[in-house]
Amino acid sequence: MKHKIQFLLILLIVTIFCGCGGIGNKDNPMFGKIFREPSELPEFKGYEELAGQVIDEIKDGNGDYKLAISILQKGNKYILILEEILTPDENGKVKYKILDTVNVGNVKTDQFVTYNNCKQGADFDNQLVVLVSMGDEDKEDYPVLKAWRADSKTGKINPVTDLKSIYCFRVDECGYEEGEEMEESIVLDTMQPAEPISVDTIMNVQADTARKE
């Protein structure tokens, strides 16, 4: 019994020091690849990073963010990345480890990928990424076509099947809900991108603990 308890304690310590405890989609061939910029990886060659967002519920013992979501685009192709934010190197630069990816596929000109302005229930869900169409501009919401949730417990991006339960507020070009500023949220209309926004930039905007090159 004593040896069993010692073994469990050792296992717990190893899990804690391994960051996110080995989560992620290990069946994904992109799992475990590390990058500073997505374009460093040959699989993402030619892709532009449109947006990045930390998952602010997930922090380590020092209060630093541990997980983030990025959206990449090349033409009408989009890729979602769930990534672990690694400890900065000796120069203070942050790298990212891929936990899971989703190929959104070909997106039509009247469609775009959005997040942080969508609800499934009463509250905004920043682990929810949604493919929407422009729809009727007189309506307050976008028609939802597909959706995925970044599961912070498993490190996987899972499809959402109950699309009727998702509500995405229409936003203006500044990334705000019609007539109302959305606190601590950054939403990028991928049909009309301004400058590419990196995860580092978003981290700096949202928290003092975030780091930027």
User: Tokens 């190893």 sit at which residue?
Assistant: 14
Q: Does residue 197 have a pLDDT over 50? A: no
Does 177 reside within a domain?
Answer: yes
Q: What is the pLDDT of residue 176?
A: 46
Range(s) of the domain holding residue 67? 22-206
Tell me the mean pLDDT in the region 174-200: 40
**More confident of the two residues 17 and 63:** 63
Does the predicted model carry a pTM greater than 0.75? no
**More confident of the two residues 171 and 177:** 171
In the chain, what's the furthest Cα-to-Cα distance?
67
- Assess contact for 117 and 141: CB atoms under 8 A: no
For the stretch 103-162, pLDDT in tens is: 998 899 999 998 888 998 888 888 899 999 998 888 889 999 999 999 989 999 999 999
Nearest one of 25, 76, 69 to 46, comparing CA atoms: 76
Does 15 reside within a domain?
Answer: no
Does 2 reside within a domain?
Answer: no
Does 10 reside within a domain?
Answer: no
How does residue 65 score in pLDDT terms, banded at 50, 70 and 90?
confident
Q: What is the mean pLDDT of the chain?
A: 76
Does 16 reside within a domain?
Answer: no
First vs last C-alpha separation in the chain: 50
